[in-house]
Amino acid sequence: MKHAIYILLFTSWINTGLIQAQWVQTGGPAGGYIRAVATSSNMVGGTNIYAGSTSQGGIFLSTDNGQSWIRRSTGMISDDIYSLAVRGTSLFAGTLGEVYRSTDNGSTWANASTGLSGTVVYSLLVSGTNLFAGTDNGAFRSSNDGMTWTQINNGLTNMTVRVLAVFDMYLFAGTAGGLFRSLDNGSSWSSEITGLQNKQIRAFSFSGANLFVGTTDGDVFLSTDNGLSWTPASTGLTGLTINALACYGSNVFAGSRYGGVFFSTNSGTTWTAVNNGLTNLGINALAIYSNGPSDTILFSGTEGSGAFVSTDNGISWTQSRLSNTWTNSFAISDTNLFATSYGGGVFLSSNSGSSWIQVSTGLPDYWVTALATSGMNLFAATHYVFRSTNNGTSWIAASSGLPNRYIWALGVSGITLFAGTEAGVFLTTDNGTEWSAANTGLTNQNIRAFAFSSNHVFAGTLGGVFRSSNQGSSWTAVNTGLTNTLVYALAVAGENVIAGTLGGAFLSTDDGTTWTPVSGLPSHRQVRSLTSSYGGLFAGTNAGGFFVSTNNGVSWTSVNTGLPNSTVHSLAVSNTQIFAGTYRDGVWKRPVSEILTSVKMLSNDYPSHLRLEQNYPNPFNPSTTIEFALPKAGIVSLKVFDIVGREVAILVNESMQPGYYRTQFNASALSSGVYFYHIQAGDFSQTKKFVLLR
């Protein structure tokens, strides 16, 4: 009986005081394509802010006015979010052809799309017991929270419904061909509206008896007769499409594409731009939450830079720490770390990622594909190359001689800067003042990666690896044994060269002359990034996470504890930290020493059975070594518990290949006593006791 009670305690305690070697998220860079913003009160009297992102971004929730965000997309098959709506404790999200409903603040989602047709749900509206959806196949209505839908297109002559709104007893549908009005919850629609004929409607809001719509022409129109007639109200508006409108009291806000946010206090008679601090002027969404005149918060969702927050009616803006970014490249200069937020420009951190600032002034294109440093020069690649000599504070073009094609890779060897484009390799020796093509021998000119050894330059292309022994003057294909020639990453480690491809990684020990598949990296996963430092070689994969090799790429081990995103597009080592740029979750970091010493593969021989060895030394103070053997690949968990069954440390929680392993446990934060370490791998589990003696 005592034994049974002990086991129950051992498995049921809540985790407290946990020691966990794992990845942690940095403070950014902020960014993401925010298409919808919604707010509601939470149970403790605060505000829930929901942000919906496209580019498979999903839903984010903030309970602290945008200071921090957590992803909330569990259960969504499609997480390109175009619309949001809130009714009480129910949250609705419109995606690519589907509606989802959550009753737990977005923690879990259920499909609510029966009867709904269309490829995009552009808008959602809650009105009483009805839920309305605007799609590219017209309007739909549900009276049971999305369980079933009925199409309501009678009288709609344009089926692209971009916005829905309710005012007084009227339901409005803004379409790509004008505004429509209904008095019977959408059962029939009237187009007898003057002033908006053939206008493409993108936004709707109202203040008192004043109704406002925004159009793709960059105009706002005003109605004072329940939407029957409309007059222009656009003086001072300079942006393109008006994507969003929001009203609070007599204040009206308009969010435009490329013009930022505009503010009117006279019903749209005149508008003033309010963009101080708003580093991205592509506004997709606006929302207001107010607990009174002195506590009003305005939120804006942008095209690539995430969300911004204003507490002074838009006079000043602060970028929210919503990090839904595709971080696809890094660069390091002294203590500065630079990262690109794909679609959001360049960001700088001078405190190991704790905070980031956008440094993109002068960049005409925020779709930055690659970064590199050379001396005091920082280079950023888009369709062209731009140079900064002041850590990104300002940028100038450095592209003379480059074709107008995307540049996917930058590399530096001595005084030579290499640019890998869709039209081959280009070189400059004067910091980008003049570029020249260097394509002799390149039979595939779609360049994706560079690597440099003491004697050679390697170029990874979508047709294999090419090698140059004369700084790019001529190239030779070196693909023997390379069974996948779509090469996205290259690295040199010791005397070895590693190529990351669409189908795993390959290793060469003879300067690329021959290649063999590596052990431990999944062969069905794309290897997107490679870097080496401190004697370790690191790999980021597509949907496979992060891997480390301590023998120059011969064998690999996954190290993903704490890393929620399994797609790692970029890697960099700065000082003692390694940084991983993910798809949709920003930048994560971890001490290099922790990765290199956490779990070490002793041998990749196949053990006959799974075995957990007794630690040594035992007793120990404060560190000890634990070894174990895995006969087959799988998820392995190795945890430490105290005498009453509380989990106090996670040593391993990874997908691992067969072999013999060793890991270190440092208990410097624990008090003396008896502890247990427990391994779980598939159906096998085993527990051993050890003693910490101070």
Sorting pLDDT into bands at 50, 70 and 90, what band is 14? very low
Helices (H), strands (E): how many in the chain?
2, 64
Sorting pLDDT into bands at 50, 70 and 90, what band is 112? very high
Percentages (nearest 5) of helix, strand, coil residues in the chain: 5, 50, 45
User: pLDDT tens for residues 660-686?
Assistant: 888 888 787 788 999 999 999 888 889
Query: Residue 32: beta bridge partners?
Result: 304, 305
User: pLDDT tens for residues 446-500?
Assistant: 999 999 998 999 999 999 999 999 999 999 999 999 999 999 999 999 889 999 9
pLDDT of residue 572: 95
| Residues in the chain, total | 694
Sorting pLDDT into bands at 50, 70 and 90, what band is 186? very high
pLDDT of residue 9: 29
Amino acid at 246: A
536-545: burial string, b at 16+ Cβ within 10 Å, e else: bbbbbbbebb
More confident position, 89 or 210: 210
Q: Does the pLDDT of residue 533 top 80, yes or no? A: yes
Sorting pLDDT into bands at 50, 70 and 90, what band is 341? confident
* H-helix segments, 136-255: none
Cα–Cα distance for residue pair 226/230, rounded to 1 Å: 10
170-203: burial string, b at 16+ Cβ within 10 Å, e else: ebbbbbbbbbbbbeebbeebebebebbeebbbbb
Contacts with 21 (C-beta within 8 Å, 6 or more apart), sequence order: 561, 590, 594, 598, 650, 651
Backbone angles phi, psi at 596, to 5 degrees: -70, -25
3-state secondary structure of 153: coil
Query: Residue 675: beta bridge partners?
Result: 690
More confident position, 596 or 278: 278
Closest CA to 671 of 19, 15, 22, 20: 19
Sorting pLDDT into bands at 50, 70 and 90, what band is 279? confident
List, in sequence order, every beta strand (DSSP E) within 495-646: 496-501, 504-508, 516-517, 527-533, 536-541, 545-549, 557-558, 568-574, 577-582, 587-591, 599-603, 611-612, 623-630, 634-641
Q: Does the pLDDT of residue 7 top 60, yes or no? A: no
Q: In what order do the strands lie in the sheet with 370-374?
A: 370-374, 377-381, 385-388, 396-397
